[in-house]
Structure 1
Amino acid sequence: MFSNLAIDVALGLIFIFLLYSLLASIVQEMIARLFNARARILTKGLRRLLEDNDHSGALGIFGRFTFFNWFYEMGWSIVYFFSPFHKSAFLKKFYHSPSIKYLGENSASARPAYISPQIFSQTMVHLLRGQATENQPEKAAISECLAHNTLQLGPDTLAHLRNLFEDAQEDVPQFRKNMETWFNETMTRASGWYRRQTQVWLLILGMGIAAVFNVDSIAIARILMKDKSAREQMVQLVTSREPSFAAMTDTLLQKNVMHRDSAYFRHDTSFQVLMKDTALIGIYGILRQDAGDAQSVLGISRSCVTDSTGGKKRTHCGFTHPYQQNGWMVLAGWIITSLAISLGAPFWFDLLGRVVKFRTAPPQR
């Protein structure tokens, strides 16, 4: 068995990053469910798809700078959070269509988190054809709607739908396929928006978790390098917990909690049910216990001392470990931890598997 100091230290650090990345991912998923984040990203994608961006040029020359655009878009995100159909008459009509309206889980989550391309194209055809009759078949009804813009679509959206209808040579089945391709391309970008949003949340949560649990990467590395007993116990902890972390990470990935793959692309037409809230809480409890075990091995903790000076009780809290006497170094360790957590649990789990495999590989002769 091949083992040395550097590999064991790396193994311990990777395990810590994986443990707290999983913890941050569970918390992030709870927040996403609380605010119905997937449905909001889907609505954003459909807004970009079906509504012209009337306020795109409001910044003027400042719109060329990313700094101003970021704050501007942030402001509109707040507006859309409270009013998702703000100045979006057609988008509201789209969501109120029976084929979309009843996909929501309940009244609290009225908007669905997933719409298949087939449902999208079907709903669009239903809206465009209106009340088609025998005297005016579906093809003619759609053609007339696009010609007279009876749905009051924005000029860019209307022009694109006309082009898709022309490309299909006014064949309705082909027109539906063209719209499904258009939908898939936009949802690919929407999935990227959600991944970036998730990464930002993981970075924010990572800093909070690092501070609350005192996950100081610099101090942990120094402890693992200097303390042989702590290093050996950490390796044993990694060995005992790796199988359960493998199942946990795989389950989270399959249920799209980690969002490694698009949350909108499915072969079926209905959104697969995610993990139940009780399962998330159960995993959270297991991870909290593992975090406590890791802290016990490393010996990193805070202590609070209450003293009475001048008749007044005062409580002073600080770090007990000698490697955490420099506050700036502790802050740097927390920042490193938060950056590591933002990479996501799948990254650290794959890396952990590689290091374990390398560590247990027989020496080369």
Structure 2
Amino acid sequence: MFNSTVLEVAIGLIFCFASVALIASSIYEAVASWLNLRSKTLLCGISELLNAETSQGHELLMSIYNDALAHPAGNGTATTVKNIRNKPAYIPSKNFALALIHALQKTPEQIDKLESAIDLLKDEQLRALLKNLYRKAEGNLHNFQHELATWFDTGMGRVSGAYKKQSQMWCFIIALIVAVGFNIDCVHLFKTLWLHPASIAQLSVSEGNSLLATQAYAQLQTLPVGWNGQFEWSMLLVPSSVVGWLVTASASLFGAPFWFDLLKLLVRLRGTGTKPENEPPQQTTEPKAH
């Protein structure tokens, strides 16, 4: 069984990792929201699916983004990508499939001529793909919509994976900047907590996932981190400090929820967890009078 010193050190380190991860992800999400990175990534993904570099692919892309099913917040009159306002960050696959069918049909009266509309596409790759999907659906419009939705989900899965890798890279960079900027050296933190485990007494670890980035930073200041009021350039050449910063930044890639869940587990193990609710009251038996 862990002794108290090991638990105190583990709790301090894990709270440090969770706080840095929360701060880094909050900064990244704020920047991503400001720059509309999710909507831009979705637009790039759909452009690749439709080969929007060609004139006909660009026309299909504009038709989809002007369709209220795919882009309900748009004005429906965009002619170029720059004219698309309030780009959506997410499009349901069923809505995309219907919007693409509408773009191929041109008019509702051509619903029975969908295959001929596909044959008129000049992009050989896109035409072959849509023809295969239409044949797989056996000419059934509902099945064709399902096949298009599946194709869209597969393509967006790749886009989502690329976006996740990009976000992890930037979160690592932000976490490293935070670690160096505030001298959050997990090696120094480990040594200090091992000698003085009572240093985490002021931590409110019970708040867990409810912490905001600003609250996490305030709690982090109660640990032995920081430059003590003066930045030292010589510390940038100390191997142990560099390793400590890199480990702190790397740990943030696991995400704040992972570390906070682990933190709750250690708090319960230490015996300071919350008591179970609705605990039945203990009954006392009194000796009967004879």
Distance 1:325 1:95 in 2: 50
Q: Which residue number corresponds to residue 288 of structure 2?
A: none
Q: Which residue number corresponds to residue 253 of structure 2?
A: 342
Contact 1:302–1:318 (8 Å) recurs in 2: no
TM superposition shift of 1:160: 1.1
Indicate how the Cα distance of structure 1 residues 30 and 220 shifts in structure 2: closer, same or farther if over 3 A, else same: same
Q: Which residue number corresponds to residue 166 of structure 1?
A: 135
Indicate how the Cα distance of structure 1 residues 184 and 171 shifts in structure 2: closer, same or farther if over 3 A, else same: same
Distance 1:288 1:104 in 2: 39
AA of the residue aligned to 2:152: F
Deviations 1:145-185 (A, max 9, x none): 11222xx4x32221111111111111111111111111122
Indicate how the Cα distance of structure 1 residues 28 and 96 shifts in structure 2: closer, same or farther if over 3 A, else same: same
Deviations 1:209-255 (A, max 9, x none): 0011110111101101112xxx2241551xx2332x2235xxxxxxx
Aligned alpha-carbon RMSD (Å): 3.0
Q: Which residue number corresponds to residue 229 of structure 2?
A: 303
Distance 2:254 2:5 in 1: 25
TM superposition shift of 1:110: 2.2
AA of the residue aligned to 1:20: V
Contact 1:3–1:360 (8 Å) recurs in 2: no
Indicate how the Cα distance of structure 1 residues 104 and 13 shifts in structure 2: closer, same or farther if over 3 A, else same: farther
Q: Which residue number corresponds to residue 139 of structure 1?
A: 112
AA of the residue aligned to 1:126: H
Task: Pick one of 207, 214, 218 that aligns with 2:176.
Answer: 207
**Of the two, which has the highest radius of gyration?**
2
With normalisation by structure 1, the TM-score equals 0.65
Question: Where in structure 1 do 4 or more consecutive aligned residues deviate above 6 Å?
Answer: none
TM superposition shift of 1:329: 2.1
AA of the residue aligned to 1:246: N
Q: How does 1:15-94 map onto structure 2 within 5 Å?
A: 15-51=15-51, 88-94=58-64
SS in 2 for 1:99: coil
Deviations 1:105-164 (A, max 9, x none): 9x996210010112101101111111243xxx4122x12211222xx4x32221111111
Q: Which residue number corresponds to residue 61 of structure 1?
A: none
Contact 2:176–2:245 (8 Å) recurs in 1: yes
Distance 2:172 2:61 in 1: 33
Q: Which residue number corresponds to residue 286 of structure 1?
A: 215
Task: Pick one of 67, 86, 99 that aligns with 1:97.
Answer: 67
Distance 1:325 1:36 in 2: 35
Task: Pick one of 219, 222, 227 that aligns with 2:191.
Answer: 222
Q: Which residue number corresponds to residue 309 of structure 1?
A: none
TM superposition shift of 1:91: 2.4
Distance 2:270 2:68 in 1: 58
Unmatched tracts of structure 2, length 5 or more: 76-82, 273-290
AA of the residue aligned to 2:119: A
Distance 1:113 1:102 in 2: 12
Distance 1:299 1:114 in 2: 40
Contact 1:303–1:318 (8 Å) recurs in 2: no
Contact 2:70–2:92 (8 Å) recurs in 1: no
Indicate how the Cα distance of structure 1 residues 25 and 223 shifts in structure 2: closer, same or farther if over 3 A, else same: same
Q: Which residue number corresponds to residue 179 of structure 1?
A: 148
Task: Pick one of 314, 318, 321 that aligns with 2:232.
Answer: 318
TM superposition shift of 1:344: 1.4
Contact 1:214–1:301 (8 Å) recurs in 2: yes
TM superposition shift of 1:47: 2.4
Distance 2:65 2:9 in 1: 53
Unmatched tracts of structure 1, length 5 or more: 55-84, 249-282, 305-316
Indicate how the Cα distance of structure 1 residues 19 and 109 shifts in structure 2: closer, same or farther if over 3 A, else same: farther
